[in-house]
């Protein structure tokens, strides 16, 4: 009955307030719809009021836009804004034109790609109503234009989260949309984009992921992206051919212009489709099992291909996605197989703040891998990263990537050819007496291990200022950096003569061992012929200190090592050598030598494969020369393997209730890793090696 009376339906739309969108270049128009159904006699029967808002996007707005003309256009095209509001529209547009772009995402926050916008030039003039969904579904059974209209109306509803619950229970609607998408997505880019967008609205909420998976939309999106990227390659090829064949002939040039315009139109539409498809996949990838399925379908290679594009919003999305994937070793290895680093290097620097920040954070994740670090240097990222040290928003991330690059001895020398060292030194001195950032001092410690960098650090009053600050603040890390500078022969070493007294004065049992270690290490590096070591040892009473530290167990191993090196350095001076011999230091040194094999036996089971290898080789040499040690070493090796066997048997007995637990989890752990070619399949790297995030790819993350 209600349907028959539809002609008596009265609909009144009243414009409400106007405002600017909080983050986008857009106006927000608030309005109220009053629908009333009139009876036969024109009397008021049923009435309903509903508030709504329309977002009017003004993407073209730039500093050079004629705001008055744009305001006129907005008022003409948006029927909800009465002409009397023109001055207000103009005022809001001026505000938008001068508003600073959205603030950059700070450290540690995740930058979500911006909200998707419907296509340019594809706004419906009609208002969708949730009560008429069945009519819109009917349209999905007709031709492509009707399917586009029907799905666009459903999209209008889906973009309001309040409607999702109701749409979720409408299996006829969702089933029809999924079917049309499966059958017709190649027919129309618009249609594919709108329907994927509808499912994207569901994917934005974890509780609705089930429905998206149920209709297998994720797998379909992967196919869509792959297909569109192939089409893109074909278009580019065709355009390239046209460009080559167009001589100076006017009509052909016009054709070429047309072809370019057509190509740009296709590209804009395709980028909408790629954005909505990839955004939906990114939402679904919250679930790691789904992410694994995507990996098996080669998501990484697809995403890296999209990095060639110019659309910044699309790039923000792709880099966010790659960054999310990069925390898994397998995905990182996939990224190493394709041109990820080359493509990312093209985005550094770029004007889009979010994109630059995300790109750097993705590079940081990848820089834990030594092979990818090599690639970064090869594609010229080093000077680009150094140039970002002056950019407040990206300085810290750039510094972290530079720190990783500075770990590799191969690249320390390459910093000499950038202005990195002077910039870092400047930053260091700006800290005054505040605590220095870990990233900054860590890079400097690493770079100081290179002779040319060390010379740059000492330029001007460099060394004097470093030394003054380190001694005043008792800063161990700063001292470590200076100690690295002190190891180089050449013009920098004699500069240290001025500080021998200051350093010797710090070597006392009352001082922190870590601090003494750095000061002593620096003195031990000063192999300078004119230095009167005998005088220094006497004046600062160092011989008793050195001798006490040689007693087994009296100090940490690394301090004992520095003491031994120091003894070696000062013994080059004949008078010193005689003085030390008299003091009874020689028997203590011999006693230390006897300790060495026992120490090596301890290291035989170290987690680090390189250390185990060196120890095994050294122990084999010792065993050859000393029968008694040979027997001890042999029995220790046997005891170690025997222990492992016993532990395994015991844990099997403890788990009698689940007899295969050990078999499945621990014993076979090596099988999971050997597939990546990271570990030898004999399990010689214990699985817990992989639990240590720092040793993820065998790199030592120690400074220097």
Tens of pLDDT, residue by residue over 572-615, are 888 888 888 888 888 888 788 777 787 787 887 788 888 888 88
**C-alpha 682: how far from chain center:** 33
Please report, rounded to a whole number, the percentage of residues in the chain having pLDDT higher than 90.
49
Mean pLDDT, residues 344-362: 95
pLDDT over 60 (residue 319) = yes
Q: 9 versus 128: which is more confidently predicted?
A: 128
pLDDT over 50 (residue 125) = yes
Q: What are phi and psi of 44, to 5 degrees?
A: -75, 120
Mean pLDDT, residues 668-691: 40
Mean pLDDT, residues 649-662: 56
Q: What angle do CA 130, 136, 139 make, to 5 degrees?
A: 180
Give the pairing type, strands 44-57 and 9-20: unpaired
pLDDT over 90 (residue 354) = yes
Determine contact, residues 255/246, Cβ cutoff 8 Å: yes
Q: 201 versus 240: which is more confidently predicted?
A: 201
**Does the CA dihedral 210-212-216-218 come out positive or negative?**
negative
**Cis link prior to 349 (omega < 30° from 0)?**
yes
pLDDT of residue 243: 77
Mean pLDDT, residues 328-333: 93
pLDDT over 70 (residue 437) = yes
pLDDT over 70 (residue 107) = no
Residue ranges of alpha helices (H) inside 125-249 are 133-139, 144-158, 164-168, 171-184, 189-203, 209-214, 217-245
pLDDT of residue 671: 36
pLDDT of residue 252: 72
Query: pLDDT tens for residues 517-534?
Result: 999 999 999 998 888 999
pLDDT of residue 656: 53
Mean pLDDT, residues 250-269: 82
pLDDT over 70 (residue 392) = yes
Closest by CA to 363, choosing from 333, 389, 329, 402, is 402
Q: What are phi and psi of 461, to 5 degrees?
A: -100, 20
Mean pLDDT, residues 81-108: 72
Mean pLDDT, residues 354-375: 96
The span from the CA of 494 to the CA of 476, in Å, is 22
pLDDT over 60 (residue 255) = yes
The span from the CA of 620 to the CA of 626, in Å, is 10
Query: pLDDT tens for residues 681-697?
Result: 444 444 444 444 444 44
Residue 399 exposure: Cα atoms within 13 Å on the Cβ side: 21
> What's the N-to-C CA distance of the chain in angstroms?
84
Query: pLDDT tens for residues 134-179?
Result: 999 999 999 999 999 999 999 999 998 889 999 999 999 999 999 9
Closest by CA to 174, choosing from 207, 217, 221, 119, is 217
pLDDT of residue 115: 55
Determine contact, residues 438/476, Cβ cutoff 8 Å: no
pLDDT of residue 15: 80
pLDDT over 90 (residue 556) = no
Mean pLDDT, residues 218-231: 94
Query: pLDDT tens for residues 272-288?
Result: 999 999 999 999 998 88
pLDDT over 50 (residue 236) = yes
Closest by CA to 173, choosing from 201, 147, 140, is 140
pLDDT over 90 (residue 646) = no
**C-alpha 187: how far from chain center:** 37
CA separation, residue 262 to residues 42, 189, 239, 310, 525 (Å): 54, 14, 10, 17, 70
pLDDT of residue 654: 61
pLDDT over 70 (residue 248) = no
């Amino acid at each position: 009955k209600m349907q028959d009376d539809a002609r008596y339906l009265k609909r009144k739309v009243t414009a409400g307030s106007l405002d600017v969108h909080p983050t986008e270049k857009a106006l927000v128009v608030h309005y109220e719809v009053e629908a009333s159904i009139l009876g036969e006699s024109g009397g008021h029967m049923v009435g309903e009021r509903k508030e709504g808002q329309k977002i009017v996007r003004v993407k073209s707005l730039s500093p050079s836009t004629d705001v008055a003309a744009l305001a006129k256009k907005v008022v003409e095209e948006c029927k909800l804004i009465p002409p009397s509001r023109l001055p207000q529209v103009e005022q809001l547009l001026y505000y938008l034109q001068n508003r600073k772009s959205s603030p950059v995402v700070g450290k540690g926050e995740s930058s979500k790609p911006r909200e998707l916008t419907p296509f340019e030039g594809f706004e419906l003039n009609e208002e969708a109503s949730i009560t008429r969904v069945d009519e819109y579904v009917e349209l999905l059974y007709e031709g492509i234009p009707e399917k586009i209209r029907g799905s666009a109306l459903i999209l209008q509803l889906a973009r309001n989260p309040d409607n999702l619950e109701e749409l979720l229970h409408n299996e006829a609607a969702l089933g029809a949309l999924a079917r049309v998408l499966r059958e017709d997505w190649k027919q129309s880019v618009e249609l594919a984009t709108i329907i994927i967008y509808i499912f994207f609205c569901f994917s934005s909420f974890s509780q609705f992921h089930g429905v998206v998976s149920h209709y297998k939309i994720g797998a379909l999106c992967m196919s869509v992206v792959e297909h569109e990227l192939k089409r893109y390659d074909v278009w580019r090829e065709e355009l390239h051919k046209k460009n080559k064949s167009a001589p100076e002939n006017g009509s052909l040039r016009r054709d070429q212009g047309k072809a370019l315009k057509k190509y740009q139109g296709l590209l804009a539409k395709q980028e909408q489709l790629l954005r909505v498809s990839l955004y939906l996949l990114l939402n679904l990838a919250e679930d790691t099992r789904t992410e694994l399925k995507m990996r098996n379908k080669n998501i990484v290679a697809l995403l890296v291909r999209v990095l060639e594009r110019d659309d910044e919003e699309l790039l923000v999305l792709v880099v966010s996605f790659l960054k999310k994937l990069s925390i898994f070793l397998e995905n990182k290895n996939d990224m190493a197989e394709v041109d990820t680093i080359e493509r990312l290097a093209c985005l550094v620097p770029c004007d889009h703040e979010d994109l630059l920040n995300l790109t750097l954070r993705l590079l940081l994740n990848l820089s834990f891998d030594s092979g990818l670090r090599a690639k970064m240097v090869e594609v010229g990222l080093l000077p680009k990263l150094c140039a970002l040290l002056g950019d407040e928003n990206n300085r810290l991330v750039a510094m972290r990537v530079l720190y990783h690059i500075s770990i590799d001895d191969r690249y320390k020398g390459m910093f000499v050819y950038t202005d990195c060292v002077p910039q870092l030194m400047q930053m260091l001195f700006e800290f005054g007496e505040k605590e220095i950032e870990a990233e900054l001092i860590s890079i400097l410690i690493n770079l100081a291990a290179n002779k040319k960098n060390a010379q740059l650090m000492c330029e001007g009053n460099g060394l004097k200022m470093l030394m003054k600050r380190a001694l005043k603040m008792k800063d161990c890390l700063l001292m470590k950096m200076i100690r690295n500078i002190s190891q180089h022969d050449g013009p920098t070493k004699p500069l240290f003569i001025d500080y021998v007294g200051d350093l010797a004065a710090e070597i006392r049992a009352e001082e922190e061992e870590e601090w003494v270690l750095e000061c002593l290490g620096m003195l031990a590096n000063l192999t300078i012929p004119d230095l009167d070591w005998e005088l220094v040892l006497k004046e600062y009473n160092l011989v008793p200190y050195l001798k006490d530290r040689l007693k087994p167990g009296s100090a940490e191993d690394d301090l004992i090592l520095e003491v031994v090196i120091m003894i070696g350095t000062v013994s080059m001076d004949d008078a010193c050598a005689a003085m030390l011999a008299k003091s009874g230091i020689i028997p203590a040194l011999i006693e230390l030598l006897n300790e060495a094999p026992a120490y090596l036996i301890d290291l035989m089971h170290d987690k680090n494969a390189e250390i185990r290898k060196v120890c095994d080789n050294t122990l084999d040499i010792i065993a050859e020369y000393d029968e008694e040690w040979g027997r001890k070493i042999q029995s220790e090796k046997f005891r170690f393997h025997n222990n492992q066997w016993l532990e395994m048997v015991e844990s099997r007995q403890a788990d009698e209730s689940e007899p295969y637990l050990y078999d499945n989890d621990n014993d076979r752990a090596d099988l999971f890793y050997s597939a990546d070619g990271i570990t030898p399949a004999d399990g010689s790297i214990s699985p817990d090696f992989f639990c240590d995030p720092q040793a993820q790819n065998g790199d030592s993350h120690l400074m220097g």
